[in-house]
Amino acid sequence: MALTTNGEIIKTPPRQPVGEACRIKSLPPLTGVIRIPGDKAITHRAVIFSSIAQGTARITNALLGYDCMASIECMRRLGAKIDINGNTLTVTGAKGLKNNQRLNVGDSGTTLRLLTGLIAGAGVSAVLEGGDGLKNRPMEQVVETLNGMGARITSADGFAPITVKASQMRGAEVYLPVAGAQLKGALMLAALNVRSGITIYEDTPTRDHSEIMFEEMSADITRGPGRVTVRPSVLKSLNMKIPGDLSGAAYFMAAATIIPGSHVVLRNVGVNPARTGIIDIINSCGGRIDVLNESMHRGEPVADIMVESAPKIKPFNISGALAPRIIDELPVLAVMACFADGESNISGASELRHKESDRITNTVAALKMMGARIEETGDGMRIWGGGVLNGGARIDPRGDHRVAMTLAVAGAASLEGVEILNPGIVGKSYPDFFKIFSGAKEDAGRDGD
Ligand code: S3P
């Protein structure tokens, strides 16, 4: 199930493996040092931005899961030269994007949204199409927002495939219709080629990896709270090391918090404050997470995260501006809520319904099968803790990598474990997840620095 990462072997985004199942047993305590793979959101941006930058960049610790491979393949088609050696990419920027390309974005919503903005702004034509995993991911916001600035984009009733016809976009001031870092990134990429630039306002802050990387790559960008302006600019290539993915680390944080006697250190994890809601929540409900050895790399904070099991887990509420800071971690926090001594509520998270699956319905159904007392609400879920999950179920995460990893945590913390169907989907964001997570059971030590 691990993705092969040695170079040119993967030419097109690989299909998701089907048919296997992975059994997760009740785990003894998690201990040891774990190195978390590169951040998915930052890898996408490093690949795409370096592919249009002047010069050559060396990107180390890149995540080469299915989605980021889709970004790599698309940018190669658009004219960038990208060599892969292990987890290191050498990217030489294209001098102008190739026109009239058919791009296969695989099942990657981030690739589709970011590239729609890039291509529309650059004034070239392209067709962007994807796999079955994209068929329910709404694209109308990115399409309509860009069309409002003079782009000529059509979709299949708001979904992929997307056709971009060459046009000249106009500058604008835009209020993000929903809190979405992919939409914001698409507009920022378009702005690089829009004469009077684009100003984007967001009510609820979303992750700012695009802003940080644009600054580091010398774009003409200014920003303040809830606002970013990008004017026409040429990015300059930059060598960088991708921080470990906090969203991947989240499964180990939750499992170590719940399973008594655990003590793990997660190495070199990105701790951008736009992403660290999970640490705040776990600590606020009695968890023991310390952020150690913090340093900055290319504008992104990176640290080691030490997690010890919580003697007692208190229930929690997540709503409003916190939800985007924690959006990808909400399913695994629902597992933690099952072990809290009371009722927890998650609201303001309707965007969860538009991820790889409807993550509200999917998470609730899966955890119910394991014996959780949980129900969906319109924009979140309500969970009645109790300290025990029975497990013992065989569950299909329905093509959603984050639900699969959430089930691994639930199974590990349950009495009877869980069997997860089609586990290979974790290759989207964490190809070695099950190997590393199960390693936690036998032994503690699996570092590797
Ligand atoms: C991402 C942003 C988030 C997140 C997704 C990746 C990104 O989505 O859920 O996994 O790369 O910018 P939104 O665009 O809804 O914020």
CATH topology of 9-38+243-443 equal to that of 40-240? Answer: yes
Residue spans of the domains in the chain: they are: 9-38+243-443, 40-240
For residue 445, pLDDT beyond 50: no
Asked if 157 is an active-site residue, the reply is no
pLDDT one-digit tens code per residue, 276-292: 999 999 999 999 999 99
Instruction: Kindly give the number of the ligand 1 atom that is closest to the alpha carbon of 113.
Output: 14
* Lowest-pLDDT range of 164-168, 174-178, 319-323, 343-347: 319-323
Helices 401-413 and 359-369: angle between axes, nearest 10 degrees: 30
**Rounded (10°) CA dihedral 222, 225, 226, 230:** 0
Ligand 1 pocket test, pick from 47, 113, 139, 207 with the greatest ligand atom count within 8 Å of Cβ, gives 207
220 confidence band (pLDDT: 50, 70, 90): very high
What does the alpha-carbon distance between residue 269 and residue 319 come to, in Å, rounded to a whole number?
25
pLDDT at residue number 440: 57
pLDDT at residue number 240: 98
39 confidence band (pLDDT: 50, 70, 90): very high
Arithmetic mean of pLDDT, 423-428: 96
Under a CB-based contact definition with an 8 Å cutoff, are residues 48 and 69 in contact?
Answer: no
135 confidence band (pLDDT: 50, 70, 90): confident
pLDDT one-digit tens code per residue, 224-241: 999 999 999 999 999 999
pLDDT at residue number 136: 87
CATH number of 9-38+243-443: 3.65.10.10
306 confidence band (pLDDT: 50, 70, 90): very high
Distance 327 CA to ligand 1 centre (A): 8
Distance 162 CA to ligand 1 centre (A): 19
The reply to whether ligand 1 has any atom less than 6 angstroms from the CB of 327 is yes
pLDDT one-digit tens code per residue, 194-214: 999 999 999 999 999 999 999
For residue 5, pLDDT beyond 60: no
What does the alpha-carbon distance between residue 336 and residue 441 come to, in Å, rounded to a whole number?
19
- Residue ranges of alpha helices (H) inside 339-376 are 359-369
Q: Could you give the C-alpha distances from 425 to 5, 165, 204, 354, 420, in angstroms and in order?
A: 16, 33, 30, 17, 11
CATH 2.30.110.10 fits 40-240, yes or no: no
Distance 277 CA to ligand 1 centre (A): 14
The reply to whether ligand 1 has any atom less than 6 angstroms from the CB of 180 is yes
Ligand 1 pocket test, pick from 182, 209, 352 with the greatest ligand atom count within 8 Å of Cβ, gives 182
DSSP string of 6-22?
SGGG--SPPPPP-S-EE
The reply to whether ligand 1 has any atom less than 6 angstroms from the CB of 71 is no
Instruction: Kindly give the number of the ligand 1 atom that is closest to the alpha carbon of 182.
Output: 14
Instruction: Kindly give the number of the ligand 1 atom that is closest to the alpha carbon of 110.
Output: 11
Under a CB-based contact definition with an 8 Å cutoff, are residues 180 and 351 in contact?
Answer: yes
Instruction: Kindly give the number of the ligand 1 atom that is closest to the alpha carbon of 328.
Output: 9
Atom 16 of ligand 1: nearest residue by CA position: 180
Atom 4 of ligand 1: nearest residue by CA position: 328
β strands within 187-314, DSSP E: 198-201, 220-224, 227-231, 240-241, 263-270, 288-297, 300-308
Instruction: Kindly give the number of the ligand 1 atom that is closest to the alpha carbon of 354.
Output: 15
For residue 441, pLDDT beyond 90: no
pLDDT one-digit tens code per residue, 409-418: 999 999 999 9
Query: In this structure, what are the phi and psi dihedrals at residue 328, rounded to the nearest 5 degrees?
Result: -80, -15
pLDDT one-digit tens code per residue, 318-363: 998 888 889 999 999 999 999 999 999 999 999 999 999 999 999 9
The reply to whether ligand 1 has any atom less than 6 angstroms from the CB of 41 is yes
For residue 446, pLDDT beyond 80: no
pLDDT one-digit tens code per residue, 389-399: 999 999 999 99
The reply to whether ligand 1 has any atom less than 6 angstroms from the CB of 50 is no
pLDDT at residue number 324: 86
Catalytic pick among 304, 328, 396, 400: 328
Under a CB-based contact definition with an 8 Å cutoff, are residues 18 and 424 in contact?
Answer: yes
pLDDT at residue number 438: 86
Question: What are 36's two structure tokens?
Answer: 């978390």
Percent over 70 (pLDDT), the chain: 94
Distance 302 CA to ligand 1 centre (A): 19
